């Protein structure tokens, strides 16, 4: 490229990218922003694909930001373009247009973009277990709008009635719920001994399992699928580890997502599971940042370096990157897991080390079987490090705030699950800060 | 921007703020009807908290660093460009409750009649929010700080 270097080059077109763009434009009104998006679509909300598949919303509600978003923020959005390779030494990214069928065109159409600052926000990619038959027609992943469209088309064309969902985590549950809403019979197969094993403890998980079964979703936990049975290239069933068979006419692979860091592998940019970033969202190479599901930072509660692929972090990490790219100062030091998952009408919210037990952890629980509610709070050294609310999720954010700010709750521990916890029962200094609307500084 | 602040030393705990908030956001806009018949569908976005002799009213803080906006999966939760208020566009909200998950004030609620987030909108279009206007002891003020 003979053109001037791009002031801000952003790879990815989702939550983290939007966070970065909005933060950059608060500081720098007109520095050039170029965005590379693989999907030829205006920025949309990925979590909404399950609502779209279920038919609860139409396509017009998929936009994450208004249609004039790029124009209003002066973003040169190149959509339907894929980043192939980052060269941190030359400070270039090789990009190429994607054909309508999703494949890359030949290398002749590729070009090198030179950047001053770079944000890698390429997100995550579905993990597809190496099960025999996974390439058959009727096997889907569930991560993008196209996935939802392909599932819809398959169901309509084949009149598919029996679905098997591989994985009982967040994506599997949402896929199952949506397929059920469309009238399909659904079986979830989960390798662990319970659904949502990462966010829910055994008791909460059994409540979720009941909600699923009540909604007509079948569950098989503690087992794996050995083979997808294929007839004439098309899915016809699955075989379990124990040899049992179950017929189906579609399979959704929902075994998790992994950071999509392939474009930086083998470069000076350090990668573990995801692209390693510090609290400024900067990678091991100065001026190159990463944010969202592709990134790996420090979990502030466990102290471990790990990807935390959740929506609110993607935005904040992107915004922190954008601020720093534009010459401002921002850090993100309070990352921890936070998931709100509605399971067939049963609200669940899981925050931090919600399932921790034993050792240094003190666990408080309360339950109302009639109302189908359950709450669990995990403390360590007088501070809350985890919270799990099922059925009744009102004001759970107060707990999130106490976790984030590491407030000593010893003096009001007896109120935590009493139903009388409010701002008024919190330490005055903290309460005044929350009420002031300053919340916490970025 | 102007925000609503409670002066807890003046709060009587009378809950008129809750009632007027409910009426303002009701269908009928009539106090008796709204209070008697619309409690199932309209919820006050203002909540009086009490502990012993101390009480105060709490609404959305319209935070500068609003976690709810970042966490919103649809973009429904947004900052009004002219007033600076944090507003939920209930036509876009899908009721995922991410905002409830992250609000440190516990000031966002599940809507009672629809699966959408319900919160203080500073009585959009009014010079003074009704909770402030109707507080009999000026325990609520609407001002810049």
**CB B84 within 8 Å of CB B62:** yes
Mean pLDDT calculated for residue range B49-68 = 93
Confidence grade of residue B29 (pLDDT, cut at 50, 70, 90): confident
B55 touches chain A (CB under 8 A): yes
- Fold held by B1-59+124-145: Alpha-Beta Plaits (3.30.70)
- Fold held by B64-119: Alpha-Beta Plaits (3.30.70)
Question: Shortest Cα distance from B145 to chain A (angstroms)?
Answer: 9
C-beta atoms of A56 and B94 within 8 A: yes
Measuring CA to CA, which residue among A423, A391, A323, A20 is closest to residue B103? Answer: A423
Distances in Å between the Cα of A170 and the Cα atoms of A43, A98, A142, A232 are 22, 29, 11, 32
Computed over its alpha carbons, how large is the radius of gyration of chain B? Answer: 15
C-beta atoms of B97 and A342 within 8 A: yes
Same fold, B1-59+124-145 and B64-119: yes
Matching residue, tokens 């004001």: A395
pLDDT at site A441: 36
Interface test with A, best of B65, B104, B118, B139 (most A CBs within 10 A): B104
C-beta atoms of A64 and B3 within 8 A: no
Question: Shortest Cα distance from B57 to chain A (angstroms)?
Answer: 10
pLDDT tens figures, A182-226: 999 999 999 999 999 999 999 999 999 999 999 999 999 999 999
How is chain B split into domains, by residue range?
1-59+124-145, 64-119
**CB A397 within 8 Å of CB B108:** yes
Mean pLDDT calculated for residue range B118-144 = 94
C-beta atoms of B106 and A394 within 8 A: yes
Distances in Å between the Cα of A48 and the Cα atoms of A129, A367, B69, B142 are 24, 31, 16, 37
**CB A288 within 8 Å of CB A200:** no
- Cα–Cα distance measured from residue A438 to residue B117, given in angstroms and rounded to the nearest whole number: 22
C-beta atoms of B102 and A338 within 8 A: yes
Give chain B's mean pLDDT. 92
pLDDT at site A338: 97
**CB A111 within 8 Å of CB A1:** yes
pLDDT at site B1: 87
Measured CA angle at A188 (ends A163, A392), to 5 deg: 120
pLDDT tens figures, A340-352: 999 999 999 999 9
**DSSP result, A230-250:** EETTEEEEEEETTS-EEE-SE
pLDDT at site A348: 98
Interface test with B, best of A397, A401, A436 (most B CBs within 10 A): A397
C-beta atoms of B65 and A319 within 8 A: no
B112 touches chain A (CB under 8 A): no
Q: Is B28 helix (H, G, I), strand (E, B) or coil?
A: coil
Q: Can you give the pLDDT of all 442 residues of chain A as single tens digits? A: 446 799 999 999 999 999 999 999 999 999 999 999 999 999 999 999 999 999 999 999 999 999 999 999 999 999 999 999 999 999 999 999 997 665 655 567 899 999 999 999 999 999 999 999 999 999 999 999 999 999 999 999 999 999 999 999 999 999 999 999 999 999 999 999 999 999 999 999 999 999 999 999 999 999 999 999 999 999 999 999 888 999 999 999 999 999 999 999 999 999 999 999 999 999 999 999 999 999 999 999 999 999 999 999 999 999 999 999 999 999 999 999 999 999 999 999 999 999 999 999 999 999 999 999 999 999 999 999 999 999 999 999 999 999 999 999 999 999 999 988 999 999 988 998 888 876 543 3
């Amino acid at each position: 490229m003979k053109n001037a270097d791009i002031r801000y080059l952003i790879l990815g077109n989702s939550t983290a990218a939007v966070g970065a763009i909005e933060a950059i434009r608060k500081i720098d009104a007109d520095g050039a922003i170029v965005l590379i998006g693989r999907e030829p679509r205006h920025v949309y909300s990925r979590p909404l694909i399950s609502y779209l598949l279920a038919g609860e919303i139409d396509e017009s509600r998929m936009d994450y930001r208004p249609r004039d978003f790029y124009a209003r923020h002066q973003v040169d959005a190149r959509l339907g373009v894929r980043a192939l390779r980052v060269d941190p030494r030359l400070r270039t990214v090789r990009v190429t247009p994607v054909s309508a069928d999703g494949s890359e065109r030949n290398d002749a159409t590729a070009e090198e973009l030179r950047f001053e600052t770079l944000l890698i926000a390429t997100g995550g990619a579905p993990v597809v277990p190496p099960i025999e038959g996974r390439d058959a027609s009727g096997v889907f992943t569930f991560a993008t709008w196209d996935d939802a469209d392909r599932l819809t088309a398959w169901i309509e064309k084949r009149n598919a009635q029996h679905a098997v969902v591989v994985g009982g985590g967040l994506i599997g549950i949402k896929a199952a719920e949506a397929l059920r809403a469309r009238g399909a019979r659904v079986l979830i197969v989960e390798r662990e001994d319970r659904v949502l094993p990462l966010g829910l403890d055994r008791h909460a998980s059994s409540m979720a399992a009941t909600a699923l079964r009540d909604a007509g979703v079948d569950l098989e936990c503690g087992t794996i699928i050995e083979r997808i049975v294929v007839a004439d290239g098309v899915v016809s069933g699955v075989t379990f580890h124990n040899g049992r068979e179950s017929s189906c006419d579609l399979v959704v692979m929902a075994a998790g997502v992994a950071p999509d860091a392939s474009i930086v592998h083998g470069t000076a940019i350090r990668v573990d599971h995801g692209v390693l970033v510090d609290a400024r969202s900067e990678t091991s190479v100065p001026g190159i940042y990463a944010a969202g599901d592709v990134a790996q930072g420090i979990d502030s509660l466990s102290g471990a370096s790990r990807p935390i692929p959740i929506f609110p972090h993607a935005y904040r990490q992107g915004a922190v990157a954008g601020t720093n790219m534009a010459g401002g100062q921002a850090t993100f030091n309070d990352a921890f897991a936070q998931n709100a998952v509605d399971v067939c009408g049963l609200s669940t919210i899981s925050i931090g080390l919600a399932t921790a037990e034993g050792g240094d952890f003190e666990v408080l629980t309360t339950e109302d079987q009639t109302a189908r509610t359950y709450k669990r709070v995990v403390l360590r050294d007088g501070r809350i490090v985890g919270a799990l609310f099922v059925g009744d999720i009102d004001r759970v954010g107060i707990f999130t705030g106490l976790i984030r700010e590491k407030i000593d709750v010893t003096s009001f521990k007896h109120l935590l699950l009493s139903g009388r916890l409010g701002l008024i029962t919190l330490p005055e200094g903290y309460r005044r800060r929350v009420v002031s609307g300053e919340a916490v500084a970025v | 921007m102007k925000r609503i602040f409670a002066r807890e030393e003046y709060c009587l705990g009378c809950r008129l703020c809750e009632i007027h908030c409910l009426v303002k956001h009701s269908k009928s806009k009539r106090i008796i009807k709204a209070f008697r018949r619309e409690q199932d569908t309209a919820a006050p976005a203002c909540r009086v908290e009490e502990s012993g002799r101390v009480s105060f009213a709490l609404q959305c803080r319209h935070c500068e660093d609003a976690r709810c906006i970042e966490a919103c999966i649809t973009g429904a939760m947004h900052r009004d460009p002219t007033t600076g208020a944090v507003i939920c566009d209930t036509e876009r909200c899908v009721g995922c409750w991410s905002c409830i998950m992250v609000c440190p004030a516990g000031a966002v609620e599940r809507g009672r009649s629809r699966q959408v987030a319900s919160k203080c909108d500073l009585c959009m279009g009014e010079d003074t929010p009704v909770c402030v206007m109707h507080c009999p002891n000026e325990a609520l003020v609407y001002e810049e700080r």
